[in-house]
Structure 1
Amino acid sequence: MGGNGSSGHAGEKRPNEQLGSWFVRSGWSKGELARQVNRRARQLGAHHISTDTSRVRRWLDGEQPREPIPRILGELFSERFGCVVGVEDLGLRQTRQSAAGSGVDLPWAGPQTIGLINEFTRSDLMLSRRGYLGTSLAMAAGPALIEPMQRWLVPPPAQPAPQSPPVPVRREQRLSEPELELLEHTTVMFRQWDAQCGGGLRRKAVVGQLHEVTDLLQEAHPEPIRRRLFTVTAELAELAGWMSYDVGIQPTAQKYFVLALHASKEAGDKAFGAFVLSKMARQMIHLHRPEDALELVHLAQYGSRDGATARTQSMLHAVEARAYANMGQPKQCHRAAKMAEAVFAEVEEFEEAGAREREPDWIRFFSEAELSAETAHAYRDLAYVAGRSHTYASLAQPAMEKAVDLFAEECASSEQGHHRSYALNLVGMATVHLLQKEPERCAARTVEALEVSRRLRSERVNNRIRRTAANAGREYGDVAEVVDLADRLRKALPEDPESMVLAG
């Protein structure tokens, strides 16, 4: 019985109606669910797990499985439905987690932050070829996510009481200015590679570099050097989170974002902390939690109100518009989108005075093309929430066309162009054509996105292409261009069931 990962007494069991409800809606058979649990367990190195249909039946009948099965089930159902499905939502008991997987409510203190990042990156590098920390983690949402993040704004006590054993500080280490500048430059280079190639190609390299920097932070450094090292740590952790998000490893992505926010607090960089919160908000939109996204972006706006550049403020308003759109609040969405445009107008004035050169590298991606893309996606999302509204689709179309044209021009003129953004907006344009009942144009744009995706390693792009093609096929399966798209997709982008994650 030890290898099946279950416990409980037969006399105390009652049917698990919550798990049963999710299971029925998933469309899976008991055998399919058992196979997926076994496959995910093998990815985690839990080779003792051997589940079959009779074991699944017992779970449905009320038997409580042992770790790591509850979290495997939560992860599988989250991926199936594209939203956060917690262990408690499945009627299963929560189990104690290790420090690296203990969620998002972490101690806001420098030594603990260093230790947690060091431990987490080591685990990420060691576990599984796909980088899954999977069932050692669980997605946080609602108050469990928002309340700990609000502590980002609370000034730390002068001498914080450690909540876990402090990281031992070694002898003082002399880190030269050229060495520190090289670390900072390497972070910029990784960010460029991510935009060009997607998160799948360099994710492990970023995680490895992050681990090395936390090793450096365990040495004693003068305060200015220490702050710069924490800045590098924050930027690498955010990038590791964004790359994890891009390849569909959602719990791992969230954990890196949380750790990046902790590091940015240690660095004293509120503007970058706001940027991290905006990425967390985007993830919540992706997971169909727009209320959580709105809370996070408002927290970012409040926390950075005195230090964020116009470009950063515009970006935050754009994410706010996306959150309102997905909540089905058109007036607030329109207001936030207009605010994003109005604030971005100040950027050109600043650029004329050379302000762009003084902006941090992490926000320079937010160009006119990105602003147009965010506005377009907000109205596109609103169109879907409003029951495929033609009015909102018409508002999305010109902004999406502008974004596509600007990204195409950028990618044609430079190998360092944002090719992933170009592909995502081609797919976005395809979805707008689908809303406008133009299947031929939808298919044409999706084929263009498929061509751009050949140079990327981004499961997010692949899944959006798959889903758009599938939606077109369901509605217009007899249109020649849609049939041709399906054929192209089968040849160029065969579905990988182990990595499929619903894209928002």
Structure 2
Amino acid sequence: MGRQPKQPNTQLAELLAETGLPNKALARRVVERGRAVGVELRYDHTSVGRWLAGEQPNPPGPELVAECLTEVAGRRVTSAECGMTGGGEAADLGLEFSLSLAEATASATALWRSDVERRRFLVGASYAVAVYPAASMRWLTLPGPEHPVSAGFRRIGQSDVDAVRTMTTAFRDLDNRVGGGKVRSTVVHYLHSSVAPLLRGSYNERVGRQLFATTAELTKLAGWAAYDLEEHGLAQRYLIQALRMSRAAGDAGLGAEILAAMSHQATYVGRPGDAVDLARAAQIAARNAGLPALESECLMVEAHGHAARQDESACATSLNAAQRAYSRSDSGRPEWLDYFDEAYLSAKTAHCFRDLGDLPRAARYAEQSLDMSDGYLRGRAFNLCLLASAVADADPHEAVRIGGEALELAAGLESRRSYSYLREVRFRLAPYDQLADVGEFRRRVLAATKGTD
């Protein structure tokens, strides 16, 4: 039997006639809506013409078309009413801080499932500008406390929570030692196959709070690993879901830590204003948690945001406040904050001075940052690159020596951020390329990082 010809999409045609929306305008709206949630599309008026002729856009196209027509028509329009096969996950999956606990659980588990399935709209999703400010506002204004209880079939107890906590500790250690690329898929599979069934089980509020807290930690780690791979749109989705779960757990400290991670990423992708706002929201949560060391960390990421904005005065104010908060810190910090020590404080300070153009002070603090605990191999690679970048003008030969150490460490990591740090050193050494050791080092970095942009 021959192939059946496509049938014209009369439902879509009727909607376009009803709204008066030209093909070109619909295509533009769909592209813009996709971009707002980190999905890059290339639709134009000819694409809409093909849809009208009966062609089906790939997911999440049908959902985006329906959302755009909903906005223009002033009533709810589904993908089926557009004559399109929908039913897939929404393009903004994981980007919303859910209002209810049931929605939060459904959103997080759907994200894990879609990630395991490597759904196309998640692969290569770009950074969505507006979602972090919206999530932080929900975090600050959502009434509470919440009561995470469930009456599912399987009984969940303390041993189940402890098992997730043990796995989270192991994954966190691996992430620091080998980079996000070597652990991310394993973490996501564990969330999908082992943690999701726990969330759907039966537990009381005491167990539920612990379960949501440790799940938030692991979800945050999955987001951090995606960030380390520079999969920024995916990282956002995980960090927002982690923030929502920390809210369900009633854990203000963990919420502050996740907001600080969002701030860290916002500075990295060139959104320093958002980074400052996120850091300030994190400080509110840290103070509520009564953790001075955590407040110090949140002040440090605010300082970095100010430095990226070239606001030297505001940066100095935040750095001084961070030092004062750190001096008040005690030993009662949670395990997930163990990394925040004098070396980390020095590294963040060095970042600030580097971005402000004060390379001598950046070098001094970068040197101090190398006095760090064992096991943080990725962090050491970053700090070596930071020091090499800071001394490149003063002593390019020393920069090559230090950069060489970082290059050796990076070879054992799967971390795109480490490649970015190495490219920064290479850039700083460009004026001295005629020196034999500099030229050789720059060629080695180019070979190691080629194809990782």
Could you state the TM-score of these two structures normalised by the residue count of structure 2? 0.78
Unpaired runs of 5+ in structure 1? 18-39, 42-48, 50-55, 72-94, 161-166, 384-391, 412-416
Cα distance change of structure 1 residues 114 and 402 upon mapping to structure 2, 3 Å threshold: same
Match of 1:431 among 389, 395, 419: 389
CA drift at 1:153 = 1.9
CA distance in 1, matches of 2:394, 2:46: 48
Equivalent residue number for residue 448 of structure 1: 405
Q: Match of 1:230, as an amino acid?
A: F
1:488 aligned to 440, 444, 451, which one? 444
Letter in 2 for 1:203: R
Q: How many angstroms does 1:303 deviate by?
A: 2.8
CA contact (8 A) 2:155 2:201 kept: no
**Coordinate RMSD, CA, aligned:** 3.5
Cα distance in structure 1, aligned partners of 2:167 and 2:94: 29
Q: Does residue 210 of structure 1 match 2:184?
A: no
What does the per-residue CA deviation read over 1:216-239, in whole Å, with 9 as the maximum and x for residues that have no partner? 111121111111110111001100
CA contact (8 A) 1:213 1:229 kept: no
Alignment-derived partner of residue 175 in structure 2: 194
Once the 2 structures are TM-superposed, how far is the Cα of residue 154 of structure 1 from its aligned partner? 2.3
Cα 1:145/1:430, change in 2 over 3 Å: same
Counterpart residue identity of residue 123, structure 2: G
> Which string of whole-angstrom CA distances, capped at 9 and with x for unpartnered residues, describes residues 302-354 of structure 1?
2332214121011111111100101111011011112212221223xx3xxxx
Q: Does 1:339 align with 2:316?
A: no
Match of 2:306 among 290, 307, 324: 324
Is 1:466 aligned with 2:423? yes
Distance 1:340-1:168 versus aligned 2 partners, 3 A rule:
closer
Separation in 2, partners of 1:252, 1:448: 31
Give the C-alpha shift of residue 197 in structure 1: 1.1
> Contact 1:443/1:469 (CA < 8 Å) preserved in 2?
no
Match of 1:304, SS?
helix
Distance 1:190 1:158 in 2: 30
Indicate if the aligned counterparts of 2:343 and 2:368 stay in contact, CA closer than 8 A: yes
The answer to whether 1:150 aligns with 2:137 is yes
1:32 corresponds in structure 2 to none
Equivalent pair of 2:132/2:240 in contact (CA under 8 Å)? no
d(CA) in 2 for partners of 1:401, 1:158: 44
CA contact (8 A) 1:444 1:481 kept: no
Q: Which has the larger radius of gyration?
A: 2
Q: Aligned equivalents of 2:206 and 2:244: distance in 1?
A: 18
Counterpart for residue 177 of structure 1? 158
Deviations 1:425-457 (A, max 9, x none): 1111111123x3532222222111001112211
* Structure 1 residues 447 and 63, CA gap change in structure 2 (3 angstroms): farther
1:371-450 alignment runs, 5 A limit: 371-383=345-357, 392-404=358-370, 406-407=371-372, 410-411=373-374, 417-434=375-392, 436-450=393-407
In 2: Cα distance, 1:377 partner to 1:69 partner = 40
User: Given residue 372 of structure 1, which amino acid in structure 2 is its aligned partner?
Assistant: S
User: Which amino acid in structure 2 is aligned with residue 247 of structure 1?
Assistant: L
Cα 1:448–1:63 change in 2 (3 A) is: farther
Alignment of 1:282-293 (within 5 A): 282-293=264-275
List alignment gaps of at least 5 residues for structure 2. Answer: 1-5, 7-12, 17-21, 29-38, 52-56, 62-77, 80-87
Check conservation: 2:306, 2:315, Cα contact below 8 A: yes
CA offsets 1:189-225 (integer angstroms, 9 cap, x no match)? 1111111111011111111222221221111211111
Are 2:151 and 2:202, in contact at CA under 8 Å, matched by a contact in 1? yes
Residue 46 of structure 1: aligned partner: none
Residue identity opposite 2:409 in structure 1: V
Give the Cα–Cα distance (whole angstroms) in 1 for the partners of residues 304 and 137 of structure 2.
21
Which residue of 2 is the match for residue 92 of structure 1? none
Query: 1-side partners of 2:250 and 2:117: how far apart?
Result: 31
Are 1:479 and 2:445 matched, yes or no? Answer: no
Question: Are 2:336 and 1:362 equivalent residues in the alignment?
Answer: yes
Is 1:110 matched up with 2:98?
Answer: no
2:220 partner letter: E
User: CA, structure 1 residues 295+267, in 2 after alignment: closer, same or farther (shift >3 Å)?
Assistant: same
Normalising by structure 1, report the TM-score.
0.71
Aligned residues: 395
Counterpart-to-counterpart distance in 2, 1:159 and 1:302 = 19
Partners of 2:155 and 2:59 in 1: how far apart?
A: 47
What is the alpha-carbon distance in structure 2 between the residues aligned to residue 315 and residue 403 of structure 1?
Answer: 15
Alignment of 1:254 onto 2:228: no
